[in-house]
Amino acid sequence: MRRRALAKGSSSGPESSSDESDSTRSNSNVDDGVESDTDLTDVDAFAEEEDEAWLSPNEDHPPEYYLQQLETFNEQDYTKEDYKDSSTRLINRMEDQWHKCWTYLKKEQNRDYSTVSVSTLYIFFNWLLSQRQGKRGRRLAGTKHASSLGTYWKVFRLVYERATSMKLDGKMNRSMHRVLRALAKKHGLTKIGRDKACMYVEDLALVLQTNLVTTEKRYPHGRYRIQAQLYLQLGGFTANRPQALLGLCYRHIKVTLLRDPEGGPHRVLLEFTFEFTKEFLGVKDMNTFPLFEVIYDETLIFSPHIFLLGVLFSDKAFAAYNLTSPEELTRLTIPPGRNELPLRLDRALDNTPVFRKAVRTPYGWTISPTEPLPYSTLLPWIRTLGTITGFAQVTRPYSLRYAAGKAFNENGNVSEAMQNLMMGHASITTFLKHYLSRRVTVDTQAVVRGIQPQAALMRAACTMSRSIDRRRPRRLTPEQTASVHEDPTVRSLLKQRERLKYTLTNATKHLKYKALTSKINRAKQRCRHALLREIQERWEYEQPVRDVERQLAGFGVDMENQLEVAPCALPQTQQELVSAIFARPGLTLDEELGRRNKAIHAVMRCCAIEEGGMRLSQTQHSKHRIKPPKKNEDDAQLELNEKELEVAKVAVYKEKRPTICFLCLGNQRLRIDVRTYSFHTPGGLSKHFKRKHLQPIKEGDQLRCDLCQVCLSSKMHLQRHAIDVHGTVSSVYV
């Protein structure tokens, strides 16, 4: 860089240079939060140019442009606290409750935050804890834990600070601790918080296995099962927050073929950069987690490489146009003199989320190309998988973060600074206060006595797997479900609806009747939930007593309902996935790479099929029995499938009122049993046709009959084609 002359009047003597140097050094430690490539010791950056051209007005932006900005500048946008949307919604909700309280009490003057006192705060939180109805008469669950009341107080302090730009007085804050304790006692709030259940690697293995082999948990699309598997793996290995994982896009992933420094085969290295971590007062630096492939692994159930590569190949995500299958990946090598071969992803997919939601179309479920998977969809998956596995504790996505953080904390190779970096914490205090389980996982007896700790036994005592019991009731029986009609509240509402039937003309279409029906459904749902909780709590206490009594009476161990559904119930694609993931390691490198490729292909097939639809009957289950793969059996199965398809095609063309859906039959992404499913009556087919194929149609959708290979211009055109060609009646033509 050419050095400009120093400004006029500056001294070049040693004393002056020393003073300038000291001044520069004294200011070099000041961090204004703005990154700059300019070296502040370079005086040329601030030196006055010889021609002083920089003082002339800019043609694009005259002085009036900046003066107008100065007049309209809103400092509040930059001086207020920077919270995420979820935190802002929580603060806004608390502020609404504050105003609503004093409006209800007809003390409008107390809405002003300058009137806040210990007495007004006591009344407000007492009123808040007494609320039982929300918006539009929605019933509130109510506050049950004292820790929740503490959270309310913290949020209110943020509300006060946002409104007044000042913090609450420290003396008032101390007085409120006594107020909160008194309110917690008055409203019967429990002091025991929610158990921070850790999903250790042993527990994670069981949940991953359940996700692969269960038929009880059905996803609308096969890719959902793959996404659930990949999410659990990444959550367990990186300890990232759920939203950071769900915000993962293809631009955050780097795939590399890495040379093994110890001379082994080249490894596939995956590097994940998590951008959407929890932000407060600015964007945090992004962390990158490298995960390398494990060759000759005992099981592929922990391999994110298998599932991510299957997703990448399914999406055709690689920039190299001919890298479309794992076989091409196997053929690649690293040139001599280099240690890596980057496998670039297509830049057109940079903003495409890895975890995407499924959307309904006239032809079934398909994966959206742009919409991310919402957390509200993921959370029930994890809970259901934990329930099917048999855990007594409720499994949550944060259970993975708790366990991984604990593993980092206990590992001697992970420093405290590295743990804070990986967890995204400012200090270890955050982990100790909010993440570390209150269950002591150290053999204190052995430590005090000076004997060898029983580490394995202590580990077994602290895992979620300890509570596994698949006999635990998960749902109500039909008799128990019907018993909710005897609830006094439900019976009263049913009687009100019956009276409306006789007092209103065409009552079922009246708004009052519909509102009452919705209220009845909500009341029934609450009763069902309460009954299930009661049954589960009673079972947790009584079943162990019955087991003890049974064994002491000489009847042995109760084996009823110990095992999940038989493997013969697995659909063909899911069966292939399970076989590939649980295959034993190869004896040679070629066999091991073949095992990897076969598993990736199984993942790709799952990403391309639709899982939803009717549950298989027992006769249909028989065709999916797990058997040793034999060529003649595969050929026989293919021939049988072809015959079933032909018979179904003849039915939808020749029968006057067929019972097979022509759109499902033409959808090659569906399983054979779903494509050829026959409803009991033509009316059942009509209901299915309206619900699954007509309702999802939106303006501008491309409609088509794949069976007839014809395009259809509109929804009405599809309905006319259905009745004229395939005999399927919809409501318009009934």
Nearest-angstrom CA–CA distance, 364 and 706: 13
3-class secondary-structure state, position 665? helix
Number of residues written out for the chain? 734
Q: Where are the alpha helices (DSSP H) in 279-374?
A: 304-314, 326-331
Averaged pLDDT, 673-685 = 86
For 248, the token pair is 């993962």
Query: Does position 42 have pLDDT exceeding 60, yes or no?
Result: no
Query: Does position 426 have pLDDT exceeding 90, yes or no?
Result: no
Contact residues for 136 (Cβ-Cβ < 8 A; gap 6+): none
* Neighbouring-strand partners of residue 221: 610
3-class secondary-structure state, position 23? helix
Please report the pLDDT score of residue 362 as a whole number: 81
Averaged pLDDT, 177-184 = 91
Query: Does position 711 have pLDDT exceeding 80, yes or no?
Result: yes
Q: Where are the alpha helices (DSSP H) in 251-396?
A: 304-314, 326-331, 375-389
Q: Residues 547, 550, 552, CA angle at the centre, nearest 5°?
A: 110
Q: DSSP letter at 252?
A: G
Q: Where are the alpha helices (DSSP H) in 80-169?
A: 85-104, 118-129, 146-164
Contact residues for 126 (Cβ-Cβ < 8 A; gap 6+): 183, 186
Secondary element (H or E) of residue 356: strand 356-361
Q: Of 189, 193, 212, 209, nearest to 201 (Cα)? A: 209
Nearest-angstrom CA–CA distance, 581 and 573: 12
For 212, 499, 668, 687, the CA distances from 600, given in Å and listed in that order, are 14, 61, 21, 38
Query: Does position 78 have pLDDT exceeding 80, yes or no?
Result: no
Please report the pLDDT score of residue 630 as a whole number: 45
Query: Does position 72 have pLDDT exceeding 80, yes or no?
Result: yes
Domain positions in the chain are 85-187, 201-395, 478-552, 636-725
Query: Does position 648 have pLDDT exceeding 50, yes or no?
Result: yes
* Tens of pLDDT, residues 460-470: 888 888 889 88
Please report the pLDDT score of residue 34 as a whole number: 42
Please report the pLDDT score of residue 541 as a whole number: 92
Nearest-angstrom CA–CA distance, 602 and 580: 7
Q: Of 643, 666, 672, nearest to 572 (Cα)? A: 672
Averaged pLDDT, 513-541 = 92
* Tens of pLDDT, residues 253-291: 999 999 999 888 999 999 999 876 554 444 556 788 999
Please report the pLDDT score of residue 346 as a whole number: 94
For 689, the token pair is 């046709």
Per DSSP, the residues of 281-320 read: SSPPPPEEEEEE--TT-S-STT-HHHHHHHHHHHTT-BSS
Query: Does position 58 have pLDDT exceeding 80, yes or no?
Result: no
Averaged pLDDT, 414-429 = 87
Please report the pLDDT score of residue 424 as a whole number: 83
1 falls in which pLDDT band (50, 70, 90)?
very low
Averaged pLDDT, 141-163 = 88
Nearest-angstrom CA–CA distance, 183 and 146: 9
3-class secondary-structure state, position 414? coil
For 112, 219, 367, 671, the CA distances from 224, given in Å and listed in that order, are 50, 6, 9, 16
Q: Of 698, 697, 694, 677, nearest to 686 (Cα)? A: 694
Q: Of 611, 541, 528, 533, nearest to 577 (Cα)? A: 611
7 falls in which pLDDT band (50, 70, 90)?
very low
> Which range (2-11, 433-442, 523-532, 718-727) has the least confidence?
2-11
Averaged pLDDT, 599-611 = 91
Please report the pLDDT score of residue 20 as a whole number: 42
Q: What torsion do the CA atoms of 30, 36, 40, 43 make, to the nearest 10 degrees?
A: -150
Please report the pLDDT score of residue 269 as a whole number: 94
Q: Return the top range by mean pLDDT from 44-48, 52-56, 666-670.
A: 666-670
Query: Does position 315 have pLDDT exceeding 60, yes or no?
Result: yes
Please give the share of the chain, as a percent, with pLDDT higher than 70. Answer: 83
Q: DSSP letter at 113?
A: G
Averaged pLDDT, 83-106 = 87
Nearest-angstrom CA–CA distance, 473 and 387: 10
Chain centroid to CA 277: how far?
Answer: 14
Query: Does position 578 have pLDDT exceeding 50, yes or no?
Result: yes
Rg, Å, the chain Cα set:
33
Nearest-angstrom CA–CA distance, 706 and 642: 17
Query: Does position 509 have pLDDT exceeding 90, yes or no?
Result: no
Averaged pLDDT, 687-708 = 84
Please report the pLDDT score of residue 670 as a whole number: 80
* Tens of pLDDT, residues 221-253: 999 999 999 999 999 999 888 888 999 999 999
| Residue pair 643/676 in contact by the 8 Å Cβ criterion | no
Burial class (CB in 10 A: 0-12, 13-18, 19+), 272: buried
Please report the pLDDT score of residue 504 as a whole number: 82
Please report the pLDDT score of residue 301 as a whole number: 94
Averaged pLDDT, 339-367 = 91
Query: Does position 182 have pLDDT exceeding 80, yes or no?
Result: yes
Specify the higher pLDDT residue, 196 or 14: 196
Please report the pLDDT score of residue 80 as a whole number: 64
Query: Does position 105 have pLDDT exceeding 80, yes or no?
Result: yes
Q: DSSP letter at 20?
A: H
Nearest-angstrom CA–CA distance, 156 and 150: 10
Q: Quote the mean pLDDT of the chain.
A: 82
Query: Does position 615 have pLDDT exceeding 50, yes or no?
Result: no
Averaged pLDDT, 347-374 = 90
Multiple choice CATH, 201-395, 1.10.443, 1.10.150, 2.60.40, 1.20.120: 1.10.443
- Burial state string for 683-717 with b = 16 or more CB within 10 A and e = fewer than 16: eebbebbbebbbeeeeeeeebbbebeeeebeebee
Query: Does position 57 have pLDDT exceeding 70, yes or no?
Result: no
Q: Return the top range by mean pLDDT from 314-328, 444-458, 459-473, 567-581.
A: 314-328
For 343, the token pair is 């496998």
Query: Does position 687 have pLDDT exceeding 50, yes or no?
Result: yes
Averaged pLDDT, 367-378 = 92
45 falls in which pLDDT band (50, 70, 90)?
very low
Averaged pLDDT, 291-307 = 92
8 falls in which pLDDT band (50, 70, 90)?
very low
Please report the pLDDT score of residue 588 as a whole number: 92
Please report the pLDDT score of residue 611 as a whole number: 82
Please report the pLDDT score of residue 166 as a whole number: 86
218 falls in which pLDDT band (50, 70, 90)?
confident
Query: Does position 195 have pLDDT exceeding 80, yes or no?
Result: no
- Burial state string for 108-120 with b = 16 or more CB within 10 A and e = fewer than 16: eebeebeebeeeb
- Give Dmax (Cα) for the chain: 106
3-class secondary-structure state, position 693? helix
Long-range (24+ apart) CB contacts under 8 A made by 163-166 are 163/95, 163/113, 164/113, 164/114, 165/79
| Residue pair 252/274 in contact by the 8 Å Cβ criterion | yes
Please report the pLDDT score of residue 193 as a whole number: 66
Please report the pLDDT score of residue 75 as a whole number: 76
